[in-house]
Structure 1
């Protein structure tokens, strides 16, 4: 793994953390608070919060690794990145939320909002990866 891999992975992980905060910390916060009895207490949640950063770092590195396994494209192809993000969402977040809905007494409306918002976030992360071009070996052509 070269320097570009690590930079792209960390940037995508940081963006994923930001999207996660926007989706789950802001947009869905009220719905989660209304169902507080189903979740960890704030003290318990805060004690486990250190797992958030490595989880998003792993997401960024794994997405970068998978994206680099695809054949390189000519230049920036945002549509390709969007399709990649969609595929990653369909094998991770979407079934994860659906399975959590089966196991936990959450409202269908919450699960559908989680799926929709995380789907958008993953498509945007895929587009970010396409823009970062993790296949590219140098930032600029040598003089």
Structure 2
């Protein structure tokens, strides 16, 4: 793992954290607030923020590492990223929300929005890691 891997992993971690904030902290926040004590309050949640950061760091570096293992030279980055993002959504995002729905009394409409927004975010992360290409060699040699 070279310097490029670590930079890509960091960029992916920050992007995952930002997408998670936009989706859950802004777009779905009213839905979560309506559920009352099923979720932590904002004040209580602040005590667990480090776990949220750790989770997104794991997402960023894991996606970078997995993508780097299957990167194909000569294939279009956009298509590889799209394929990778969809695969990650099918592997983790969609099953995760379906499992939560099976074990928690969440409204179906909320789960549908989580599925759609979570899948979009995961596909966007797939496109980002393909654009970053953690195994890409230097684009050109400097004279």
By the TM > 0.5 criterion, same fold?
yes
Paired with 2:23 and 2:90, the residues of 1 have a C-alpha distance of: 17
When the two structures are superposed, what TM-score results if normalisation uses the length of structure 1? Answer: 0.93
The corresponding residue for 1:100 is 100
Ranges in structure 2 where 5+ consecutive residues have no aligned partner: none
SS at structure 2 position matched to 1:92 = helix
Deviations 1:56-113 (A, max 9, x none): 1111100010001114322751121011011111111111111111111100110111
The corresponding residue for 2:79 is 79
CA-based RMSD: 1.4
Ranges in structure 1 where 5+ consecutive residues have no aligned partner: none
SS at structure 1 position matched to 2:48 = helix
When the two structures are superposed, what TM-score results if normalisation uses the length of structure 2? Answer: 0.93
How many residues are matched? Answer: 143
Asked if the contact 1:97–1:111 (Cα under 8 Å) also holds between the matched residues in 2, the reply is: yes
The corresponding residue for 2:5 is 5
Which residues in structure 2 correspond to 1:51-130 (within 5 Å)?
A: 51-74=51-74, 77-130=77-130
